[in-house]
Chain A
Amino acid sequence: MKKAQSITEFVKEVKRGSISIVEHTEKIIEEAEKSNSQFHHFNLIAKKSALLQAKEIDAGIKTGQHKGKLLGVPISVKDCICVKDFESRAGSKILSGYLPLFDATVIAKAKKEGAIIIGKTAQDEFGFGTFSNNVGVDFEKPLNPLNPKRCCGGSSGGSAGFTSLTSLTHASIGQSTGGSIAAPASFCGVAGLTPTYGLVSRFGLIDYANSLDKIGTIGKTISDAALLLEVISGYDMNDSTSLKAEAQNLGNVKHLNDFRIGVVKEFFKGCEEKVQKECMNAINKLEEEGATVEEISLPLNAKYGIAAYYLASTTEASTNLARFCGMRYGLHDKLEGDFNEYFSKVRSQGFGIEAKRRILLGTFARMSGFRDAYYLKAMKVRTKLIKEFRQAFETVDVLVNPTMPIIAPTFGEIKKLSPLEQYAMDLCTVPANLAGLPHASVKVGEHKGMPVGLMITADHLQENKMVQAAKAVEELK
Chain B
Amino acid sequence: MAKPKVDKKLLLKVSTNARLNLTGKEVDEFLPQLQEILKAFGKLDEIDVKDEKPSFQPLSLENVARKDLVEKCLSQEEALKNTKNKKDGYFMGPKVT
Is there an interface contact between A360 and B97, defined as CB atoms closer than 8 Å?
A: no
Q: Tell yes or no: A338 within 8 A of B by CB.
A: yes
**A343 (CB) vs chain B CBs: closest residue:** B19
Q: Which residues of B contact A342 (CB under 8 A)?
A: 93-94
Residues 1-41 (chain B) with a chain A CB within 8 angstroms = 1-4, 6, 10-11, 14-15, 17-22, 26, 29-30, 33-34, 36-38, 40-41
Is there an interface contact between B94 and A360, defined as CB atoms closer than 8 Å?
A: no
Q: Tell yes or no: B96 within 8 A of A by CB.
A: yes
Residues 331-358 (chain A) with a chain B CB within 8 angstroms = 332, 335-345, 347-348, 351, 353, 356-357
Q: Chain B's nearest CB lies how many Å from the CB of A69?
A: 27
State in angstroms the CA–CA spacing of A380 and B56 once bound together.
9
With contact pairs A360-B11, A420-B36, A436-B59 given, residues A376 and B20 touching in the complex (Cβ less than 8 Å): no
Is there an interface contact between A339 and B95, defined as CB atoms closer than 8 Å?
A: yes
Is there an interface contact between A419 and B56, defined as CB atoms closer than 8 Å?
A: no
From A17-25, A41-49, A321-329, the one touching the partner chain is: A321-329
Residues 76-109 (chain A) with a chain B CB within 8 angstroms = 97-99, 101
Q: Is the interface of B mostly helix, strand, loop or mixed?
A: loop
B56-70 interface bits toward A, Cβ cutoff 8 Å, 1 = contact, 0 = none = 111101011010000
Q: Tell yes or no: B76 within 8 A of A by CB.
A: no
Is there an interface contact between B93 and A379, defined as CB atoms closer than 8 Å?
A: no
Is there an interface contact between B66 and A237, defined as CB atoms closer than 8 Å?
A: yes
Q: Which residues of B contact A364 (CB under 8 A)?
A: 6, 10, 14, 34, 38
State in angstroms the CA–CA spacing of A325 and B97 once bound together.
18
Q: Tell yes or no: B89 within 8 A of A by CB.
A: no
Residues 299-337 (chain A) with a chain B CB within 8 angstroms = 300, 303-304, 307-308, 310-311, 318, 322, 325, 327-330, 332, 335-337
Q: Tell yes or no: A197 within 8 A of B by CB.
A: yes
Is there an interface contact between A380 and B83, defined as CB atoms closer than 8 Å?
A: no
State in angstroms the CA–CA spacing of A384 and B54 once bound together.
9
Q: Which residues of B contact A436 (CB under 8 A)?
A: 57-59
**B41 (CB) vs chain A CBs: closest residue:** A307
Is there an interface contact between A344 and B21, defined as CB atoms closer than 8 Å?
A: yes
With contact pairs A328-B91, A340-B19, A379-B56 given, residues A307 and B82 touching in the complex (Cβ less than 8 Å): no
State in angstroms the CA–CA spacing of A386 and B52 once bound together.
12
Is there an interface contact between A339 and B84, defined as CB atoms closer than 8 Å?
A: no
State in angstroms the CA–CA spacing of A376 and B4 once bound together.
16
Q: Tell yes or no: A279 within 8 A of B by CB.
A: no
**A382 (CB) vs chain B CBs: closest residue:** B55
Q: Tell yes or no: A269 within 8 A of B by CB.
A: no
Interface residues in B, total, Cβ within 8 A: 56
State in angstroms the CA–CA spacing of A336 and B94 once bound together.
6
Is there an interface contact between A419 and B81, defined as CB atoms closer than 8 Å?
A: no
Q: Which residues of B contact A15 (CB under 8 A)?
A: none
Is there an interface contact between B40 and A420, defined as CB atoms closer than 8 Å?
A: yes
Is there an interface contact between A381 and B20, defined as CB atoms closer than 8 Å?
A: no
**A332 (CB) vs chain B CBs: closest residue:** B84
Is there an interface contact between A363 and B58, defined as CB atoms closer than 8 Å?
A: no
Q: Tell yes or no: A149 within 8 A of B by CB.
A: no
Is there an interface contact between A345 and B21, defined as CB atoms closer than 8 Å?
A: yes
Is there an interface contact between B14 and A327, defined as CB atoms closer than 8 Å?
A: no
State in angstroms the CA–CA spacing of A339 and B81 once bound together.
21
Q: Which residues of B contact A347 (CB under 8 A)?
A: 19-20
**Of the candidates B10, B49, B58, which one forms a contact with A381 in the assembled complex, judged by CB atoms under 8 Å apart?**
B49
Q: Which residues of B contact A307 (CB under 8 A)?
A: 40-41, 43-44
**Of the candidates A101, A359, A420, which one forms a contact with B81 in the assembled complex, judged by CB atoms under 8 Å apart?**
A101
Q: Which residues of A contact B20 (CB under 8 A)?
A: 344, 347-348, 351, 356, 359-360
Q: Which residues of B contact A383 (CB under 8 A)?
A: 49, 52-55
Q: Tell yes or no: A435 within 8 A of B by CB.
A: yes
**Of the candidates B1, B22, B40, which one forms a contact with A372 in the assembled complex, judged by CB atoms under 8 Å apart?**
B1
State in angstroms the CA–CA spacing of A386 and B56 once bound together.
12
Is there an interface contact between B94 and A377, defined as CB atoms closer than 8 Å?
A: no
Q: Which residues of A contact B6 (CB under 8 A)?
A: 364
Q: Tell yes or no: A59 within 8 A of B by CB.
A: no
State in angstroms the CA–CA spacing of A42 and B35 once bound together.
35
Q: Which residues of B contact A420 (CB under 8 A)?
A: 33, 36-37, 40
Q: Chain A's nearest CB lies how many Å from the CB of B9?
A: 13
State in angstroms the CA–CA spacing of A344 and B63 once bound together.
35
Can you spell out 25 A-B residue pairs with CB atoms less than 8 angstroms apart?
A: A327-B83, A329-B83, A330-B82, A338-B94, A339-B94, A342-B94, A347-B19, A347-B20, A348-B21, A357-B33, A359-B20, A360-B14, A360-B15, A360-B18, A360-B34, A367-B14, A370-B4, A374-B38, A381-B44, A383-B49, A384-B47, A418-B33, A420-B33, A420-B40, A435-B58
Residues of B within 8 A of A (CB): 1-4, 6, 10-11, 14-15, 17-22, 26, 29-30, 33-34, 36-38, 40-41, 43-45, 47, 49, 52-59, 61, 63-64, 66, 74, 78, 81-85, 91-97
7 A-B pairs closest in CB distance: A436-B58, A379-B54, A329-B82, A342-B94, A380-B49, A307-B41, A363-B18
